[in-house]
Amino acid sequence: MKHTISAMALALSASTAMAQDNVTIEFAYSYSHLFDVTYEAMMPAFKEKHPNIDVKFRATYESYEDGTNTVLREAVSGTLPDVTMQGLNRQQILVEKGIAQSLEPFIAKETDFAKDGYHDAMLSLSTIDDAVYGLPFSVSLPVGYYNMDMMKAAGVESLPTTWDEVITVCEKMKANGVDNPIFWGWSVTGNWFLQALMWSQDKPIVDNGRMALDSPEALAALEQMQEIFTKCDMQNIEWKAALSSFAAGEIGMMFWSTSALGAVERSQGDFELVTGAFPGMGETPKGLPAGGNAAVLTSTSEDPKVQEAAWAWIKFITSGEGAAEVAKTTGYMPPNKAANEVILADFYEANPNKKTAVDQLPLLRDWLAYPGDNGLAITQVIYDGIERIVTGDATDMKELQQELVEEVSDLLPNG
């Protein structure tokens, strides 16, 4: 009996010690409809490697703007998560506010960091003032989604390469009885498609520290949007509804982030889906903005175990093994060399629709944040202006450009 009691005491002592060694970290991310399946797919391998770390998932952010706004509020209330996923263009404000923590001390302890697939070209997306503040988790580029059944029924056999060709396809579809031939992603987070049209002309929206909304390239972008919206009779529908309508076979062409490809494929109707490179303004785009997000350490815990657990989670989800699930479950590209070149060596050849964005990687440019504390407000001003084009409320693009320049100037640090 004495031996039995001793054994029980030892077992209880061991289980108590294990419980004490367990660490819980809190994690928040955007776009549940895109990433829920990704994190679910990652968790078994993570728990196998780190059985003592529990990841508590917070309610997801609606968008990258919502994610940044939420974290800014949580910093004031003292309720920050340990790790947050933030849009690549929203990291700088968190660094400037002292919310994002440098990952340099953790990286310095890693002897095999470069071997895990992290290199300067990838880390530069989250490097601010020569220090790494986030590890890029997923990178996207804008692409075209095509319902080839609808295209062929309208007499179109090849994918359009310019917006003029897109408009021609719209007209053929309309002549064939298609009510809604196109959805063009003007509403995507961070004015991403406006930046895509400007980068297509090799012009950044923030040039040498100043907004370039008054540039000829910005006017050309607004005019290009107007042509697409009006000549294609594009309906002003909410983007989630548009994704559902395209997947259901009701929209002929959709221009959106490659990130949605996994979601579209999971709900796709009975039609041939093909993705194609983002069309250009009369020629191949000279550049395109990198979309996506990065894992940022925002923990306020002073417990070294929590900090190390948060780093273990960040490192795993962005490593070759973790990042591979990004490509498999979404349309994002893992910004990790090991994932793309080793683990996914055969994946893209077997999944050509997901390879489209990878083929555009030479065009990758920065997704730019707007200067000062009013970056989110500037994003909304531009969003509202573009919506006026969609609804037909704005018809004179030079006049709209001037209005946007004036409104945005009032929100900039130096006018």
Give buried/exposed letters for 227-266 (b at 16+ CB in 10 A, else e).
ebbebbebbebebeebbbbbbeebbbbbbbbbbbbbbbee
What is the predicted pLDDT for the residue at 4? Answer: 42
What is the predicted pLDDT for the residue at 1? Answer: 43
Tens of pLDDT, residues 52-62: 999 999 999 99
Q: What are phi and psi of 68, to 5 degrees?
A: -70, -45
CATH placement of domain 24-140+291-364: 3.40.190.10
CA 239 to each of CA 87, 268, 386: distance values in angstroms, whole numbers, following the listed order: 18, 16, 14
Tens of pLDDT, residues 342-368: 778 788 889 999 999 889 988 989 899
Q: Residue ranges of the domains in the chain?
A: 24-140+291-364, 142-289+370-409
Tens of pLDDT, residues 98-136: 999 999 999 999 987 775 677 666 678 788 889 999 998
In contact, 103 and 133? CB cutoff 8 Å: yes
User: In the predicted model, is pLDDT for residue 415 greater than 90?
Assistant: no
d(C-alpha 59, C-alpha 82), whole Å? 14
Q: What is the residue-averaged pLDDT of the chain?
A: 91
Whether domain 142-289+370-409 has CATH 3.90.180.10: the reply is: no
User: In the predicted model, is pLDDT for residue 49 greater than 90?
Assistant: yes
What is the predicted pLDDT for the residue at 250? Answer: 95
Tens of pLDDT, residues 201-212: 999 999 988 999
In contact, 81 and 27? CB cutoff 8 Å: yes
Tens of pLDDT, residues 60-90: 999 999 999 999 999 999 999 999 999 988 9
Q: What are phi and psi of 216, to 5 degrees?
A: -60, -35
In contact, 356 and 142? CB cutoff 8 Å: no
d(C-alpha 246, C-alpha 392), whole Å? 23
Torsion of CA 105, 106, 108, 113, to 10 degrees: -150
Tens of pLDDT, residues 258-298: 989 998 999 999 999 999 999 999 999 999 998 889 999 99
User: 70-74, 90-94, 249-253: lowest mean pLDDT where?
Assistant: 90-94
Half-sphere exposure of 214 (CA within 13 A, CB side): 9
